[in-house]
Amino acid sequence: MSENISTGQLSVEELRELIPQLQQLTEKYKRSEQIQKALFDISELAGSISELSRLYIAIHEIVGEFMNARNFYVALYEKDDEFVKFPYHVDEFDQEVLGQIPASELMDGITGYILRSGKHLVLTEENFLQKSKELKFKTFGKVPVDLIGVPLKRGSRVIGTMVVQSYDKSVRYGEDDLDLLLFVSQHIVNALDRVTSRELTEQTIRERTKQLRDINDELQDEILERQKIESLQQALFEISEIAASIEGEMPDFYASLHDILARLLSAPNCYVAVLNDKRDHLEFPYYSDEIESTIESRELGHGLTEYVLRTGKAELIDSSRVGFLAEQNELDEATSEHMIKHSNSWIGSPLIVEGEISGIIAVQTYGDDTKYTFKDLELLKFVSHHIAVAIERKRAAESIQKYNLQLSQKVRERTDELHKTNLYLKKQIEERKEIELKLIHDAHHDSLTNLPNRAMFNSRLELAVANKNRYPEHNFAVLFIDLDRFKQINDSLGHHAGDMFLVEVAARIGKCIRAHDLLARLGGDEFVILLDSFDDFADVEEVANRIIQSLSAPFELEGKEMYSGASIGIASLEVGYQSADELIRDADAAMYQAKAHGRGRFVLFDTSMRQKLLEELELENEFRKTLRAGNFDCHVQSVIDLTQNSYLYHEFYVRWVHPTLGKIKREQFWKVAQNSGLTREVDNFMIDQALRVLQHWQKIKGGETDQKIAINLSINHLSQSRFVNHLIERIKEANVKPSNLVFEFDENELNRRDQFMLPAIKKLKRSGVILVLDNFGSGLASLSYLYSYPFDYVKIDHRFVKSITRSKRNYSLIQSVLAISGQLDFKLIAEGIETKEQFDALADSGCCLGQGIFLEPAMDMQSILDKQSIPTRENVS
């Protein structure tokens, strides 16, 4: 047939058969052309439309050109979404706008099947029931005659479905319609994505544009606010400037304030009102008004100005408020009518200076064109504070200007007087400088000898220690000097003579050292020297010998020749010393060694001294622990009345047995107590034990006892009246008669501080305590003790008793003291009686009271507490 066509030799029958084929082919090409146009339209829509809602309408119209698509919808769904969205839905039976439906409700229906399976679905009236059973989907709403649903896919992922359906039996769908929808669906997804992307982009642009617009509005507001602040700052600056200006009169000043205020807010009318001195009239130093050109001073009434003065606050008053204030009798009728007539808007703010209202400043407008707001009120309120200060400053400036004219004459009159005063002040300043220099000097020097003091010496010595550690070849040494017999000189000749002695000592020592050596007085009779830059240690020894020789020469004091001496400790500054205190400590230790070896000599410090100090420190620590634990050995040795062979009293004392050193001697015991500052604590321990023994005896007897117990009391207990009061109070609290207690005081201790002890001893005597002067004759005490102090007994030192059998002098001394004892109302006790010969000699001398191992040995205190009887001479074991 092709050959016949090509040659044009076709028969009529053949042409008749060919025509339907040609018609069918033409329809096919025509449909393809339409589809291509539809795709082109979709592509064009995707590039031009920016809203999805318009895209769906356009797609519906395009599909409607090829097939009957009266009922058409698009559903979108992403996996795991809770809802199926229906962005486009047109149905002749279901007019409800769906929007979105929960996925759980739709997944069993036709739409859900296509979304789940990703397959297209063609339903007809004939296969609907079969397909619903086969594919297991449910029907929602009216059942269509025909339905075609195709999935919308992005790649292999289903994102939605597009469905057309017919409820008219005359409108049926075929395979061509399915092919068309499948073909179109592939391009619709791309169009959706492009439009969606464009829509999101445009939405983002709109949101960003809105943000930028909001930011711009905020910036504009901020700029306006800053401009207002700048204007306000400029106004305040100008207010301050015109207030500070000395030129111009007050009316010009007020006018300038008005001009400045008008730049900040509407102020065509402005006035300033102030109270007079009596505060009963208003005066108007400035008044500028469109209606009334002038205003007179008036008594206080019920005007706007007076209302602000009464409230003390800035007020905004307009025609809407004035009626209310008039009803409250705050404003008079004339003011109210004037405000209403002229539609006034009025702001007034008080002028407050130093917390007191002096007047107000007010602005007002007439008519309805300009009304004040609360912002204007706050602005005037803020500015009024500065205006008030400016007005006050301007007034003050004018007053000062007038006063200056008067003052200038007085200034000229007083110039000469001030010149004289300046000369006097200059002299005072010079004197003050001299005083300050003297204070600085006195802070670093001893006031008596004018030598450097401890602070200055330590400062220089610290520098020497640092120098030695940096330059080991440099030589330094410290000499610690303690004067011998200074206390005796001070006590015997008086403090003035003692001061003169110290001045002379300083002068003599100063002559024994070089000019660059440093001599200082630490206090009392202690001097120190810092020697530096010497070649050999023999030079240090030579200086020490010169000092000892110089101080051993006699001193002329108060017309009397007195002798002293010096004990010197030397510490050589070696590498390793870290502070001045360490070096002074070692020199001090060496000085004590010099004193112990007989005074009038020098001793060089070595490490054994430091070890001895450490041992003494360890001994003190052991002493403290023993005292705290109460582990001292307690003994009692009785004083015997030889005539009646009875106890006078029992002397209580303590001894210390060290765990490694054994029994500590009495002298060392008290030395440790004094060095550690525990003498009062030891006294308290002994008092507690003595009271304990007396309470034990009282308990045995069932009442008061005549037995007495004695302790050696340190004079530290008498140094302050509160200590004495506390001691008396303790005796009362123990329910012990004071007369059962005997306090013995060492003569040597009293000799050192006798001028302070007499009132305290007399107070103890008045309390009923028995007093004993112990170790009489052992020191340098005079017989004035026996006349001045109210002692009941005097205990002669044991050394006199020891030598009584071979020393007539001591025998005579005991007889002499016995002779005056009756006149001075005290009795003599001989202590330390160890032999029968001593006992016979004392009895022969007339001494009736004694103590010693010959008469009765000491007893352990615990044995007394263990016994349930009171000791007598007959029952002593």
Considering the chain, what is the average pLDDT of its residues? 83
Helix, strand or coil, per DSSP, at residue 750 = helix
Please tell me the distance from the alpha carbon of residue 172 to that of residue 104, in angstroms, as a whole number: 31
Q: Is there a contact between 375 and 383 (Cβ–Cβ < 8 Å)?
A: no
pLDDT at position 550 = 92
What does the pLDDT look like over 34-60, one tens digit per residue? 666 666 666 666 666 666 777 788 888
Helix, coil or strand: residue 310:
helix
Q: Residue 508 pLDDT > 90, yes or no? A: yes
Helix axes 836-845, 808-824, angle to 10 degrees: 50
pLDDT at residue number 151: 93
The pLDDT-based confidence of 753 (bands split at 50, 70, 90) is low
pLDDT at 876 over 60: no
* Nearest-angstrom CA–CA distance, 384 and 380: 6
Helix, strand, coil % in the chain, rounded to nearest 5: 55, 20, 25
Contact partners, residue 456, CB within 8 Å, separation at least 6: 444, 445, 520
- The amino acid at 492: S
How far apart (Å, rounded) are the C-alpha atoms in residues 342 and 325? 17
Amino acid at 237: F
Would you say residue 1 has pLDDT above 50? no
What token pair was written down for 740?
């059962």
Confidence check: pLDDT of 680 > 50: yes
Q: Which residue type sits at 7?
A: T
Q: What tens digit of pLDDT does each residue of 102-149 get? A: 888 888 888 889 888 888 899 998 888 888 888 888 887 788 989 999
The reported pLDDT for the residue numbered 481 is 93
pLDDT score of 7 more than 60? no
pLDDT at 248: 63
SS (H, E, C) 19-60: HHHHHHHHHHHHHHHHHHHHHHHHHHHHHHCCCHHHHHHHHH
Closest CA to 50 of 192, 207, 212, 209: 192
Segment 844-865 shows an average pLDDT of 89
**721: pLDDT strictly greater than 80:** no
Closest alpha carbon to 522 in 587, 588, 453, 592? 453
What share of the chain in percent tops pLDDT 90? Answer: 16
The whole-angstrom separation of Cα 776 and Cα 708 is: 21
- What is the β-pairing status of strands 281-288 and 298-299? antiparallel
Using only C-alpha atoms, the chain has a radius of gyration, in whole angstroms, of 62
**What is the rounded average pLDDT of the residues 607-620?**
73
Whole-angstrom distance, CA of residue 826 vs CA of residue 158: 132
pLDDT reported for residue 10? 62
- Read off the pLDDT of each residue in 614-638 and give the average, rounded to a whole number: 83
Residue whose entry in the numeric block shows the structure tokens 């407008």:
365
Q: Residue 32: pLDDT above 80?
A: no
Query: SS3 sequence, 188-214?
Result: HHHHHHHHHHHHHHHHHHHHHHHHHHH
Judged against a pLDDT cut of 90, whether residue 825 lies above it is answered with: no
In this prediction, residue 137 carries a pLDDT of 84
pLDDT given at position 667: 81
CA pair distance 623, 795, nearest whole angstrom: 29
- Least confident segment among 124-128, 143-147, 365-369, 637-641: 365-369
**Cβ–Cβ < 8 Å for 636, 858:** yes
How far is the C-alpha of 849 from the C-alpha of 835, rounded, in Å?
A: 15
DSSP assignment of 625-656: HHHHHT--EEEEEEEEETTTTEEEEEEEEEEE
102 phi and psi angles, rounded to 5 deg: -50, 135
pLDDT digits (tens, 9 = 90+) for 223-256: 877 777 777 677 677 777 766 665 667 778 788 8
The three-class DSSP label of residue 263 is helix
Residue 816, pLDDT score: 87
The pLDDT of residue 39 is 67
Segment 83-112 shows an average pLDDT of 82
In sequence order, the β-bridge partners of residue 851 are: 831
State mean pLDDT over 648-671. Answer: 85
Gap between the Cα atoms of 227 and 39, Å rounded: 60
CA-to-CA distance for 678 and 664, rounded, in angstroms?
A: 16
* Exposure letters 784-810 (e unless 16+ CB within 10 A, then b): ebbeebebbbbbbbbebbbebeeeeeb
d(CA 207, CA 204): 5
In whole angstroms, what is the distance from residue 533 CA to residue 476 CA?
A: 7
**Burial label, 59 (beta-carbon count in 10 A; 0-12, 13-18, 19+):** buried
- Considering Cα of 388, then 394, then 398, then 399, what sign does the dihedral take? positive
Percent of the chain having pLDDT more than 70?
91
Which of 230-239, 753-762, 767-776, 868-877 shows the highest mean pLDDT? 767-776
Distances (CA, A) of 788 to 702, 756, 758, 762: 39, 13, 8, 10
Q: Are 605 and 587 in contact (CB under 8 A)?
A: yes
Looking at the predicted structure, is the pLDDT value of residue 29 above 70? Answer: no
Length of the chain as a residue count: 877
pLDDT band at residue 89 using 50, 70 and 90 as cut-offs = confident
Q: What is the average per-residue pLDDT within 389-408?
A: 76
| Token pair in block for residue 361 | 């400043």
Give me the mean pLDDT over the 452-472 stretch.
Answer: 91
d(CA 796, CA 812): 13
CB 508 within 8 A of CB 550: yes
pLDDT, position 41: 67
pLDDT in the model for residue 392? 76
Q: CA–CA distance from 812 to each of 341, 473, 792, 825 (Å)?
A: 132, 66, 22, 20
pLDDT tens digits along 527-551: 999 998 888 888 999 999 999 999 9
Task: Identify which has the larger pLDDT, 52 or 731.
Answer: 731
Predicted pLDDT of residue 877:
39
831 — pLDDT class (breaks 50, 70, 90): very high
Beta strand 121-123 with 146-154 is antiparallel
Q: Using CA atoms, how far apart are residues 773 and 794, in angstroms rounded to an integer?
A: 5
**Please, which pLDDT band fits residue 97 given cuts at 50, 70 and 90?**
low
pLDDT of residue 821: 86
* Residue 623 confidence (pLDDT) above 50: yes
319-323 mean pLDDT: 84
- The CA-atom distances, in angstroms, between 325 and each of 330, 331, 370, 741 are 5, 6, 22, 95
- Which tops the pLDDT comparison, 186 or 89? 89
At 324, is the pLDDT very low, low, confident or very high (cuts 50, 70, 90)? Answer: confident
| Cα–Cα distance for residue pair 181/405, rounded to 1 Å | 109
**Average pLDDT of the segment spanning 819-840:** 90
Q: For residues 622 and 626, give the distance between their C-alpha atoms in angstroms, rounded to a whole number.
A: 6
* Two tokens, residue 717: 């207990």
Contacts 24+ apart (CB under 8 A), 44-47: 45/191, 45/195, 46/190, 46/191, 46/194, 46/195, 47/194
Per-residue pLDDT band for 794 (boundaries 50, 70, 90) equals very high
Closest CA to 316 of 376, 251, 254, 360: 376
Residue 640 has pLDDT above 90, yes or no: yes
Token pair listed for 535: 């070649």
Q: Which range among 379-388, 506-515, 725-734 shows the weakest confidence by mean pLDDT?
A: 379-388
Of 346-355, 420-429, 750-759, give the lowest mean pLDDT range.
750-759
Spell out the long-range contacts of 698-703 with Cβ–Cβ below 8 A and sequence spacing 24 or more.
698/735, 698/736, 700/868, 700/869, 700/870, 701/870
pLDDT band at residue 441 using 50, 70 and 90 as cut-offs: confident
Q: How confident is the model at residue 6 (pLDDT cuts 50, 70, 90)?
A: very low
Tokens of 115: 């979304």
